[in-house]
Amino acid sequence: MYSASVALNARSKSAALTEKQKSKIAVGILSGLVYIHQQGVVHSDIKSANILLTESLVPKICDFGVSVLRKAVSEHTGSVSQGVTVLGITERYAAPEAKQLHMVTSKSDVYSAAFVLWELWTMQLLERVQDTAELLQHAAPRG
């Protein structure tokens, strides 16, 4: 079944969303992330361009090109929590361990999702943030 969709980062530029719509999208993104992690998949490249929105604003996580199966991670390293080496991540959204060591876990996806949610809520594309204090400064109300 075909469904017209647009990437979240493109949708954010084109039309304002209500708080209720943003909340629905955020819950959908996080629910999708929980689902793929329950299936044993680490996406490894969660970013707003990899979240498609249907016409009814249902988010769909896409582009599993650099994703990994945790079972494969476990067999490779002996431990799921140690992560696996991946290439092709988007640094702006990547967790520190993913940027520095190219190692990812499901926690890396959650870290990346936080930036996506920040973009969704503020309706701004995230510029490279050096630290949490800088992000909070960007997120603070102006005026």
Cross-strand pairs, 53 = 6, 59
Q: Quote the CA–CA distance of 136 and 127 in Å, as a whole number.
A: 13
- CB crowding 59-71: b at 16 or more within 10 Å, else e: bebebeeebbebe
59 in Cβ contact with 25 (< 8 Å) = yes
Is 45 an annotated catalytic residue?
yes
Residue from 45, 63, 109, 131 carrying the catalytic annotation = 45
Q: Give me the active site residues, please.
A: 45
